[in-house]
């Protein structure tokens, strides 16, 4: 597409293209230790657009800052400038939407779905514990490894609630209050998790529409059938929680950790309290003026980068209709 993808990135040997998103090209690469990584390299258009460049910079910093087994692990990165990149764990199967597209009927075995959902609920509980919201939970941003364990990726729209941030989301997964123009919150992430629970456990997203407006009306006014009616293998308590996750009012939704516990119970496991690795909670994205380049074994180098711009008021939704496309 552009030159920005072809420049060398010190320390990496670039191999084939894994995928192309709106923001970046993703290449398979091998690092100095001979390990495979996925390298996200922003498009030239991304670097040339302040808002898009900030979103990429935000993804770099938060991915390197967060430490959780179900958040895609970041190894190294440069947040801004012509050498910007992000090295993350490589998932040979690609994103979950791509994995599902290869399966007849787009349905995983029940235990596989429960495990993925439990891992994602765990990732959300971690972000919410830190005071952050993800804003874009969907199968496109979920990566599953060979053991069937899931990690949440694409932190470009993630922000710390106390700092404020730009509201975003994908129409299929967006909570009613986001359609209303309100701020996102832990509860709006939980709503997206509720949509994903229906998608993975019943085989279909609960709300459909042929336009942004139709989908908005569906999210605001309709109620899906209980999950246990659509898939009798789902327990009643879990089914109830999925319905509560889709409550129209954010205050009526459960916490992500309650959903994690119910999912583990359906897997026949006794849920334990989660213990979090020490994440640099004191460095929310807007305050960080440096990007730390991390090796696999810790920080190796720092570079100055501009601090992120002030949070902007809500922007217009995108003109083109794509129910998976982020609302920016
Ligand atoms: N860690 C990874 N391992 C393997 N493949 C990956 C990985 N990350 C991304 N990909 C591939 O690259 C594609 C594009 O990635 P992604 O959607 O994150 O791009 P983006 O431009 O940053 O995102 P967006 O389109 O939301 O702005 C994915 O659909 C997937 O096929």
Catalytic residue among 119, 136, 189, 266: 136
- Answer with the residue of higher pLDDT: 306 or 75: 75
Beta bridge partners, 26, equal 19, 40
CA-to-CA distance for 232 and 243, rounded, in angstroms?
15
Residue 290, pLDDT above cutoff 80: no
| Domains with residue ranges and CATH for the chain | 13-91+277-311 (3.30.200.20), 96-266 (1.10.510.10)
Q: Is the pTM of this model over 0.95?
A: no
Ligand 1 atom at shortest distance from the alpha carbon of 59: 22
Q: Is 91 in the pocket of ligand 1 (CB under 6 A)?
A: yes
Q: How far is the CA of 29 from the centre of ligand 1 (A)?
A: 14
Q: Is 56 in the pocket of ligand 1 (CB under 6 A)?
A: no
Does residue 136 carry a catalytic annotation?
yes
Residue 4, pLDDT above cutoff 80: no
Locate tokens 């942004």: which residue?
212
What does the pLDDT read at residue 208? 94
What does the pLDDT read at residue 328? 44
Q: What's the N-to-C CA distance of the chain in angstroms?
A: 23
CA-to-CA distance for 101 and 76, rounded, in angstroms?
30
Mean pLDDT of 208-234: 96
Residues 124/137, Cβ–Cβ less than 8 Å: yes
Q: Is 40 in the pocket of ligand 1 (CB under 6 A)?
A: yes
Residue 261, pLDDT above cutoff 90: yes
């Amino acid at each position: 597409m552009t030159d920005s993808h072809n420049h060398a990135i010190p320390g990496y040997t670039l191999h084939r293209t894994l995928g192309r998103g709106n923001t970046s090209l993703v290449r398979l690469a091998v690092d100095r230790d001979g390990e495979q990584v996925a390298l996200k390299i922003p498009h030239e258009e991304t670097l040339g657009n302040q808002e898009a460049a900030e979103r990429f910079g935000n993804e770099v910093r938060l991915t390197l800052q967060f430490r959780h087994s179900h958040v895609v692990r970041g190894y190294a990165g440069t947040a801004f400038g012509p050498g910007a990149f992000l090295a993350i764990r490589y998932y040979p199967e690609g994103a979950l939407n791509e994995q599902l597209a290869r399966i007849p009927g787009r349905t995983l075995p029940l235990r596989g779905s429960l495990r993925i959902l439990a891992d994602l609920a765990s990732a959300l509980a971690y972000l919410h514990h830190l005071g952050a919201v993800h804003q874009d939970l969907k199968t496109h941003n979920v990566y599953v490894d060979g053991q069937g364990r899931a990690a949440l990726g694409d932190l470009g729209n993630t922000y710390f609630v106390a700092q404020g941030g730009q509201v975003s989301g994908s129409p299929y997964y967006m909570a009613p209050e986001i359609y209303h123009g309100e701020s996102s919150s832990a509860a709006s992430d939980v709503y997206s998790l509720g949509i994903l629970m229906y998608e993975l456990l019943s085989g279909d997203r609960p709300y459909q529409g042929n336009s942004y407006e139709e989908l908005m009306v569906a999210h605001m006014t309709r109620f899906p059938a209980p999950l246990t009616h659509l898939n009798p293998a789902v327990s009643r308590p879990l089914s109830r929680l999925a319905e509560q996750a889709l409550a129209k009012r954010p205050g009526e939704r459960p916490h992500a950790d309650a959903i994690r516990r119910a999912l583990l119970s359906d897997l026949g496991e006794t849920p334990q309290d989660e213990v979090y690795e020490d994440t640099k909670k004191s460095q929310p994205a807007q305050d960080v003026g440096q990007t730390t380049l991390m090796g696999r074994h810790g920080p190796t180098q720092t570079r100055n980068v501009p601090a992120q711009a002030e949070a902007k008021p809500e922007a217009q939704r995108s003109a083109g209709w794509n129910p998976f496309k982020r609302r920016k």
